[in-house]
Chains A and B, each alone.
Chain A
Amino acid sequence: MAITAKNLDKNEYFYGHKACAGCGGSLAVRAALKVLGEKSAAVLPAGCMSAVGFNFPQLCFGNNAIISMFAGTASMLTGVEAGLRRRGIKDFHAVGFAGDGGTADIGIQALSGAIDRGDDIIYICYDNEAYMNTGIQKSGLTPFGARTTTTPAGKNIRGNIRPKKNMFEIAAAHDIPYAATATIGYINDFMEKVDKASRIKGTKYIHVIAPCPTGWGIPVDATVEAAREIVDCGLWYLAEYENGEFKINRDPGEFTDPAEYLKKQGRFKHLTDEDVDVIIKSRDKKWEKIRREWK
């Protein structure tokens, strides 16, 4: 069933937090918890969402939530799920919210282990494309060309020289029961994927793009707009992996101009036309494969 403003849980489970105005990550956490409800146990590793959610005595989660060590989001989820099951508690969701660094770099072996064991957990990666909590350092999910404090833009090197790690397909390669990509720009699609994940047994992985106004160099009211444009210009895609098959949910057909999306952001301001061409070429290559091989 489609999730709309009307049938969504009216309660708020992430409220009064100290995230920056216009934070994309906090919208992802809020929306996911509204779908999963009060009987969800949230696990958050070091990162923005644990830093803004737990400032004793200001505790902003309305459900049970715990901070894990940076590398151990998925392993703590395993323990939470096993513990609650052992105590006879039913109809709960063990859900993790880790950033891109906590997923693709530091927490990848714990996540891989949890998928391998087939634990009944939901792992949500909110991807703001760098280590934003510590002051914008490059992570494995920082896209090509982005300026961060560890990949500065100068005369010789113009921002990050490596492409974004393909975390969605890495999770899918484990033959995971369910994996999906989403963006906070299309929040209904994201919430429907969380809802679908909550009904599937086994490990679920959802990768959601959550722009960060501070790190991306965009106005605080442009977060949702940027999260839409990244899909419309083809630099991100909405897809699912289920029963061993990839499925593309939304093919924009004609893409909007990526240069327009890139030039709005402070982190891409330095890019030359040749750099943009490199980005467009890699996008076209990716989409050619998607259109050929995915349903």
Chain B
Amino acid sequence: MKPYLREKKSFAFEDIPEDTCFEAGYLVTVNSGWRSRTPQIDNEKCIGCGQCYLYCPDGVIAMDGKTPVIDYDFCKGCGICAKICPKSAIELR
């Protein structure tokens, strides 16, 4: 589980809660528009060590068993994953 994109994205003034509490993990916009380069994983070179998953500041890399999977909706393209990879299996394109 993680915070996910919701269907209701805009709120009229009346919809805004009167107290300061609201549902946790409520996302309405993606971050994919931030990046100019996109990380691509070469699954043949990847050894599944999970370093990219550990060091991603946005947490967009999830490990599916030994395979890293990137959520491109929220990746900002910073390139830390490419630099940290011990096998140079990630390339920014």
Give every chain A residue within 8 A of B83 (Cβ-Cβ): 221-222, 224-225
Contact of A6 among B29, B34, B50, B59 (CB under 8 A): B50
Q: Mark A17-56, 1 if CB is under 8 A from B, else 0.
A: 1110111101100110000000000000000000000001
Contacts A26-B57, A224-B55; A5 near B63 (Cβ below 8 A): yes
Instruction: Determine if A60 and B76 form an interchain contact, defined as CB atoms under 8 angstroms apart.
Output: no
The reply to whether A18 and B50 contact each other, CB–CB distance below 8 Å, is no
Cβ B26 vs Cβ A15 within 8 A: no
B51 touches A58 (CB 8 A): no
Measured between beta carbons, the chain B residues less than 8 angstroms from A18 are 31
Partner of B76, one of A8, A21, A24, A223: A21
With A23-B57, A187-B54 known as contacts, the answer to whether A58 contacts B79 (CB < 8 A) is no
Contact string against A for B residues 1-33, beta-carbon threshold 8 Å, 1 for contact and 0 otherwise: 111011001010000100000111111111100
* A-side contacts of B11, CB under 8 Å: 56-57
**Central interface residue in B30, B57, B83, by most chain A CB within 10 Å:** B57
Question: Whose C-beta in chain A lies nearest to the C-beta of B68?
Answer: A5
Q: Are A224 and B80 in contact (CB under 8 A)?
A: yes
Q: A14 contacts the other chain (Cβ, under 8 Å)? A: yes
Whether B27 and A15, one on each chain, are in contact in the complex, defined by CB atoms closer than 8 angstroms, is yes
In this complex, how many residues of chain A approach chain B with their Cβ under 8 Å: the count is 40
- In the complex, A58 Cα to B63 Cα: how many Å? 25
Q: Which of B1, B54, B58 contacts A17 (CB 8 A)?
A: B58
- Once the chains bind, are A59 and B54 in contact (CB under 8 Å)? no
* Distance of A62 Cα from B2 Cα, bound (Å): 6
Report whether over half of chain B's contact residues are helix, strand or loop; otherwise say mixed: loop
Among candidates A6, A11, A14, A23, residue contacting B1 with C-beta atoms closer than 8 Å:
A11
**Interface residue count for B (Cβ, 8 Å)?**
42
Query: Does A16 interact with chain B (Cβ within 8 Å)?
Result: yes
B84 contacts the other chain (CB 8 A): yes
B53 within 8 A of A: yes
- The answer, yes or no, to whether A4 is at the interface (CB within 8 Å) is yes
User: Among B28, B57, B77, which residue has its beta carbon within 8 angstroms of that of A24?
Assistant: B57
- Interface: A63 (CB within 8 A): yes
Across the interface, name the chain A residue whose C-beta is closest to B29: A58
- Is the C-beta of B82 less than 8 angstroms from some C-beta in chain A? yes
Using A15-B2, A15-B74, A223-B57 as known contacts, say yes or no to A22 and B25 having CB atoms under 8 A apart.
no
Measured in the bound complex, the distance between the Cα atoms of B3 and A40 in whole Å is 15
How far does the alpha carbon of A57 sit from the alpha carbon of B28 in the complex, in Å? 7
Residues from chain B with a CB closer than 8 A to the CB of A27 are 55-57
Check B57 against A63 for contact (C-beta < 8 Å). no
Which residue in chain B gives the minimum CB-CB distance to A6?
B50
Whether B78 is near chain A, meaning CB under 8 Å from some CB there, is yes
Binding site for A on B (CB under 8 A): 1-3, 5-6, 9, 11, 16, 22-31, 34-35, 49-51, 53-60, 62-63, 74, 76-80, 82-84
Q: Taking beta carbons and an 8 Å cutoff, which residues of A are in contact with B?
A: 4-6, 8, 10-19, 21-24, 26-27, 30-31, 56-65, 187-188, 220-225
9 contacts between A and B (CB under 8 A): A6-B50, A16-B3, A16-B31, A23-B57, A26-B57, A26-B58, A59-B27, A65-B24, A221-B79
For the complex with contacts A24-B57, A221-B80, 14 further pairs of A-B residues with Cβ separation under 8 Å are A5-B49, A5-B63, A12-B3, A15-B60, A16-B5, A16-B27, A16-B74, A21-B76, A22-B78, A57-B9, A58-B26, A60-B25, A62-B24, A221-B83
